[in-house]
Amino acid sequence: MAKIIVDAQAARAIGKGAMIVFKKGVVRVEGTIKPGDIVEVYTRGGKFLGKGFANPNSNIMVRIVTKDKDVEINKDLFKERIKKANEYRKKVLKYTNVYRMVYGEADYLPGLIVDRFNDIASLQISSAGMERFKLDVAEAIMEVEPEIETVFEKNTGRSRRREGLPEIERVLLGKEKYRTIIEEGKAKFIVDMRGQKTGFFLDQRENRLALEKWINPGDRVLDVFTYTGGFAIHAAIAGADEVIAIDKSPRAIETAKENAKLNGVEDKIKFIVGSAFEEMEKLQKKGEKFDVVILDPPAFVQHEKDLKPGMRAYFNVNFAGLNLVKDGGIFVTCSCSQHVDLQMFKDMIIAAGAKAGKFLKMLEPYRTQAPDHPILMASKDTEYLKCLFLYVENMR
């Protein structure tokens, strides 16, 4: 088995609980490694730190799976970890049949994400090593949760391409099933495995539910980057009189329309297919104002090198959104970029508010991802979602 020797900084991080070894922390490689090989990680002094999946072609050189030299990386280990992760969601967090079942290194399964939607599990793999074991993982999921009848392989996106893996969307194991209906508070949503990500953005669940208490009967609401209508439908259910929901994806908007009809609020919501920036500019030129504006954009910062243009994009979209909020209105703004920390995000909002001539007051403490996307204290990468609920007043 090949060995990876890491520097002192990487060794300290692993000692504190980190499970990712970046290429910059590697001192040398002893032996030959191919993408997906299992390797052992050591300090310069020869101390064993862990073993896991390697990929010499990726910026993430090693994803550590175990820190016990005697533990075998196989189906039994995956099943044990999946069972433990699932019990945490059900016994501690009290989720029942819709939740993120596995969240990568936060559940000690780096490179693996599993979302459960009733009897369908959506599996997403972002490491060449885990790819080798995906059928074992699918079998383990169904053994841990016998109610799951379908494991859908949702293996698409940048993370796959970075690892040199093919993009695949298919039923990996079980019944040929793609759609189901889930419940979120009083709302219902269609989940289609052939949509974006793993089928539905579960990480915003608690934030969508929190929105309802800030909606007053008769409110006008703007939901930008609506995807399949999550925030928009919760606003309509909570009593908003008129909701405008914007997304650039025609397919997502079609599902959003189905969701609106499913919840009996189709007459309250106007869906627009279009660019967020262009549509907000049109609304501003018309002099439109809203009681509540919600921004839930995609990750504008995918890599550290994208930080400057990405933060500019966040600033521009938030500046546009703030100009559409009434004096005394509410502004909900989010970022799912893990490279943008909370202080950077808050500084950007403060600057956008100042330019827009707005005072901003926090309505709630800083919100983040749902607890079934656990934040591992030793791993900064597991904390990515930031969500602020703000009260907006005009500067005079």
Q: How many CB atoms lie within 10 A of CB 8?
A: 12
Residues 130, 53 contacting (CB under 8 angstroms): yes
Angle at 329 between CA 288 and CA 218, to 5 degrees: 75
**Residue at 67: amino acid letter:** K
The number of beta carbons lying within 10 Å of the beta carbon of residue 92 is 11
- Both tokens of residue 197? 């990500």
Q: Could you write out the DSSP letters of every residue in 2-34?
A: -EEEE-HHHHHHHHTT--EEEGGGEEEEES---
Task: Write the DSSP symbol of residue 363.
Answer: S
Which helix H or strand E contains 217, and what residues bound it? none
CA 128 centroid distance within chain: 21
Q: Are 360 and 352 in contact (CB under 8 A)?
A: no
- Taking a C-beta distance cutoff of 8 angstroms, is the pair 245, 229 a contact? yes
Q: Does the CA dihedral 393-283-264-185 come out positive or negative?
A: negative
Amino acid at 76: D
For the chain, the distance separating the N- and C-terminal CA atoms, rounded to the nearest angstrom, is: 68
- Tokens 């040398």: give the residue: 28
- Number of Cβ within a 10 Å radius of residue 34: 11
Burial of 381 (0-12, 13-18, 19+ CB in 10 A): middle
For the record, the structure tokens of 343 come out as: 């202080």
Task: Give the span between the Cα atoms of 111 and 97, in whole angstroms.
Answer: 23
Q: Is 387 a catalytic residue?
A: no
Q: How far is CA 262 from CA 113, 188, 211, 256, 266, in A?
A: 28, 7, 20, 10, 8
Q: Which of 148, 252, 317, 336 is catalytic?
A: 336
Residues 367/206, Cβ–Cβ less than 8 Å: yes
Query: Catalytic site residues?
Result: 336
